[in-house]
Amino acid sequence: MQAAFAVTIPAGTTLVVRTLQGISSGDMAGTRVRTQLDNDISVKGTVALPAGTKISGRVESSKRGLSRDQKLTLNITGAQVHGGTVAIKTTGAVELQNPYARTTQHGTQVSRYSYQVPAGTKVQFRLAQPLQI
């Protein structure tokens, strides 16, 4: 019966999530991150994923990696739907900007030290493959 209500969110759809926890530039790659969908995702007038849907993610790279010059990046991996997890494939990890970076007339200066991206930060991803709900 669930198949009668199946919806496919097309590749290229933008998903905007809001972090539910702070993320540190010192977190190891692979660290799990909790987020939630910031707005409804509709397909042909039907809400396929409502705002607030829990979206799992992970740190892809950070300053804690092999190089202290690595950027802090995040990717989302799954959505909690109908009591289970549906895998998400995006076009790639997104860099989380240092909220303490300063812009000067010569460009952006970023501290080489650890920083924290606060909970509530919005991050935008694009689906690389259709997502079947």
Name the token pair of 1: 């019966």
pLDDT tens over the chain, length 133 residues = 344 568 999 999 999 999 999 999 989 999 999 999 999 999 999 999 999 999 999 999 988 755 556 789 999 999 999 899 999 999 999 999 887 776 666 665 555 668 899 999 999 999 999 999 9
> What is residue 12's DSSP assignment?
T
Question: In this structure, is residue 13 part of a structural domain?
Answer: no
Question: In this structure, is residue 31 part of a structural domain?
Answer: yes
How many other C-beta atoms can be found within 10 angstroms of the C-beta atom of residue 38? Answer: 16
Domain housing 64:
19-95
Question: In this structure, is residue 61 part of a structural domain?
Answer: yes
Number of domains in the chain: 1
Q: What is the pTM of this model?
A: 0.86
Kindly write down the DSSP assignment for every residue of 78-119, as one continuous string: EEEETTEEEE--BS--EEPP-TT-EEETTEEE--SS--EEPT
Question: In this structure, is residue 76 part of a structural domain?
Answer: yes
Question: In this structure, is residue 33 part of a structural domain?
Answer: yes
Q: Are 126 and 34 in contact (CB under 8 A)?
A: no
